[in-house]
Structure 1
Amino acid sequence: MTDSASARYKYLQKIGEGVHGMVLKAHDLTTGKEVAIKKVSLRTKHGEISLSTVREIKALQHCDCKYIMSLLDVFPDMTGLSLVFDYMPHTLYSILKNDSIPLSRSIIRSYTSMLLHGVKYMHSIGIMHRDIKPANLLIDDNDVLKIADFGLARIYSQNEDKSYSPQVASRWYRAPELLYGSSKYGPAVDMWAIGCVFAEMLRRVPLFNGNTDIEQLALVIKILGSPNQKDWPEMDSLPDFKKIHFSHSKGESWQNIFPTCTTANEIALVDGLVQYNPRKRLTAAEALNLDYFIQYDSDVLKSISKF
């Protein structure tokens, strides 16, 4: 740690620890604000440069969106680098796990709108996150949601035929093309994950919660039905598609999956995102143009105009 960094930040407590580093809560003595400091290693346990650290910093330096965590400061310490962010007291994961915290339909819509706006911006500048999940969605005391943890993010180009690792995204939010071992994919993997997160907010339990990749695929097939070539022509070319065989499934209706109070507009959003064929999944911009959001925005404007 440098002397200037040591003098500026007063560490308060450890607030998290994951694969890519430890997170500490601190007080910024210069601004008076509480911040979160993520300590990341510059090298892997094998002594190689940590690509996740490089990718996270590179991705965050490209982002300027109020629904994406801003990188406030970077400084070296004895183990690697410290990345400084605004302190966000909650994660969507912690809220979903706490039954005493209600999730109203308006809050779910607000969180989903912010998530989609953040991802829309991210995809517009050529970044796919590849690890959208409740634990990586931070929320402040004013219910503002921001996307965090860009350790698996990649800068991509629609015009380049690049290969990527299929071993990304947490299993419960991993798109089927990844589960089938595809190395040729794009930002649609984030859209599948958003669909799973939205469904989880509506149900308070994960949509697909497999303990292994095989079980995860089995749960997807149970709900969506067996994939077919008409709807997903590329499925036969996926590396592991012919290696894994499941009993034929007709699938289940979304009405049976969700609580009786779930609306048709909410189900339409899930259905538009949780699609086998990545080409058929809604983009973030398309999702934000659904009646689910348009009608809500119209109602808000009408209520404001009365005052």
Structure 2
Amino acid sequence: MDPPPPKSWSIHTRPEIIQKYEILERVGSGAYSDVYRARRLSDNLIVALKEVHDYQSAFREIEALQILHNSPNVVVLHEYFWREDEDAVLVMEFLKTDLASVIKEAKKREGGGGGGGIGVGELKRWILQILSGVDVCHRNMIVHRDLKPSNLLVSDEGVLKLADFGQARILLESGYVASGENPQPYEEDPGEPLSQADAFRPSDITPDTDTSSQGGFRGQEHVTMSKEEYFKVLDELKSKNLDKDTNVQDGDTSCLATCTTSDREDDPFKSSCSFEAEEAGDNREGSLTSCVGTRWYRAPELLYGSTSYGLEIDLWSLGCILAELCTLQPLFPGTSDIDQLSRIMSVLGNLNEETWPGCVKLPDYRTISFNKVENPIGLEACLLNRTAEEISLVKKLVCYDPSRRATAMELFNEKYFKEEPLPVPLSELHVPSSKNGQDEDSPGGWYDYDEMDSDSDFEDFGPMNVTTTSTGFSIEFP
């Protein structure tokens, strides 16, 4: 048996790739991945080559995208290349812009008097597409864990697609969900040979609650469950599969987006990393970690250190995104985890047993406390000049108790989407011609996580009261 070839120093020298693709330019770079625009030689299709330098992130993204294959609002994975001695390279559809750029351009139009922000019909179409993408993930029990505008890519035709599944997890126990140790290789055309020499074992049983063409991958078992049944299954999963005495961290594996990221004026990546890394990586059969997602869109249970959460963390992120679409401003632009919690409480009030029964069991609930918020301003104050229906949508998602958050499918049925003005056709959406270019606000366009501050830095928050307790210490922020 021939020895494996030496590891290439560059994607440009990997023969299995350059035989099929002409690499045109690097369009993005992060600490854990690089993204290139390339041309497929067989048909001149422009694609994105995502070279992922972290095994855990590559594994998760491939596994999730295989399950979600053919979902119209999830980015397409055409094929991938992966050898034991090489980084994974994912071949994906190339999408030039994202929802963050849509929001930024709408803000410019509003400020310049050029038509004013995002119209109601356009807003409804964007929301419905996001709901479609989140719904197909959740029907397959995939929690994305990093939903944000820059991870919602947009095609030239206005089709919105969920991307960057490097932090995604499948939340069902072995026997009910795909249980293979490695993702199954495939190409868009099943008649062609596989791209890599070493075939992985298949993971071909995936749950789906709908028989439509949107969901799932081949070999599906269709399972219909109500919201109550879902919570029951998830609780059973947590008790059986999650070791709650350990908190195995996810590796810092996410790049900013599959093919693009936005140069936002107030981008959270400029002052903080998405989540913390740990050398040990993550155990697929072990506990989840609370250090996932981007702070502005991170659910309160994650900020309080929960490791036994479910799909509901995506629903909180979804609510923050919907609010941002309505106002063209981030809902909770925190500068640290503590500031993030403070901003949330100033709007929703204090987190307690009344607002979320059982919240006292959150790992850090008794460690970090805030003075009583006497008069929370409420979400209405954050959504000025928006309709009651739009405020209601956000309220159904941005609430403390995860079990009270509406599912994507429940929101689909809201009368808001059936009333005038109706959602516009895709052809009437304002789609930026490309991602907003590198300007003075974003010299490089992509941010390297290695150079960012920690989420856990309390130095900027002035006075605090630290009290020794029987279990450690408590920090109170006036």
Say yes or no: TM over 0.5.
yes
Structure that is richer in helix per residue: 1
**Alpha-carbon distance change, 8 to 63 in structure 1, aligned in 2, over 3 angstroms:** same
Q: 1:61 aligns with which of 59, 62, 66?
A: 66
The residue aligned with 1:122 is 137
* 2-structure distance, mates of 1:35, 1:227: 46
Code of the residue aligned with 1:17 in structure 2: it is S
The residue aligned with 1:221 is 345
Q: 2:376 aligns with which of 251, 259, 263?
A: 251
Deviation at 1:217, TM superposition (A): 0.2
TM-score (normalizing by structure 2): 0.58
Contact 2:125 2:423 in 1 (8 A): no
The residue aligned with 1:33 is 45
* 2-structure distance, mates of 1:296, 1:238: 43
Q: 1:74 aligns with which of 80, 91, 96?
A: 80
1:148 equivalenced with 2:142 (yes/no): no
* 1-structure distance, mates of 2:108, 2:48: 26
Report how many residues are paired.
293
What's the secondary structure of 1:146's corresponding residue? Answer: strand
The residue aligned with 1:18 is 30
The residue aligned with 1:94 is 101
What's the secondary structure of 1:97's corresponding residue? Answer: helix
Contact 1:2 1:75 in 2 (8 A): no
1:287 equivalenced with 2:411 (yes/no): yes
Deviation at 1:91, TM superposition (A): 1.0
Code of the residue aligned with 2:64 in structure 1: it is A
What's the secondary structure of 2:322's corresponding residue? Answer: helix
Deviation at 1:244, TM superposition (A): 1.1
The residue aligned with 2:184 is none
* 2-structure distance, mates of 1:239, 1:32: 52
* 1-structure distance, mates of 2:415, 2:292: 32
Deviation at 1:36, TM superposition (A): 1.0
Q: 1:184 aligns with which of 277, 302, 308?
A: 308
The residue aligned with 1:211 is 335
**Alpha-carbon distance change, 28 to 104 in structure 1, aligned in 2, over 3 angstroms:** farther
Code of the residue aligned with 2:362 in structure 1: it is L
* 1-structure distance, mates of 2:292, 2:16: 36
- CA RMSD in angstroms comes to 2.0
* 2-structure distance, mates of 1:239, 1:283: 25
1:28-67 per-residue CA deviation (whole Å, 9 max, x = no partner) reads 12122211111112x5xxxxxx211111111111113110
* 2-structure distance, mates of 1:15, 1:296: 40
Contact 2:145 2:314 in 1 (8 A): yes
Structure possessing the higher relative contact order (Cα contacts under 8 Å, 6 or more residues apart)? 2
* 2-structure distance, mates of 1:188, 1:2: 41
**Alpha-carbon distance change, 194 to 19 in structure 1, aligned in 2, over 3 angstroms:** farther
**Alpha-carbon distance change, 100 to 13 in structure 1, aligned in 2, over 3 angstroms:** farther
Q: 1:160 aligns with which of 216, 231, 237?
A: 237
Look at both structures and tell me which one has the larger radius of gyration over its CA atoms: 2
Contact 2:77 2:90 in 1 (8 A): yes
Deviation at 1:298, TM superposition (A): 7.0
What's the secondary structure of 1:59's corresponding residue? Answer: helix
The residue aligned with 2:299 is 175
The residue aligned with 2:230 is none
**Alpha-carbon distance change, 299 to 59 in structure 1, aligned in 2, over 3 angstroms:** closer
* 2-structure distance, mates of 1:106, 1:296: 8
**Alpha-carbon distance change, 287 to 20 in structure 1, aligned in 2, over 3 angstroms:** farther
Code of the residue aligned with 2:400 in structure 1: it is Y
**Percent sequence identity over aligned pairs:** 37
What's the secondary structure of 1:233's corresponding residue? Answer: coil
- Tell me whether 91-100 or 125-134 shows the greater mean CA deviation: 91-100
Structure 2 residues without counterparts, runs of 5 or longer: 1-12, 110-116, 173-233, 243-286, 426-478
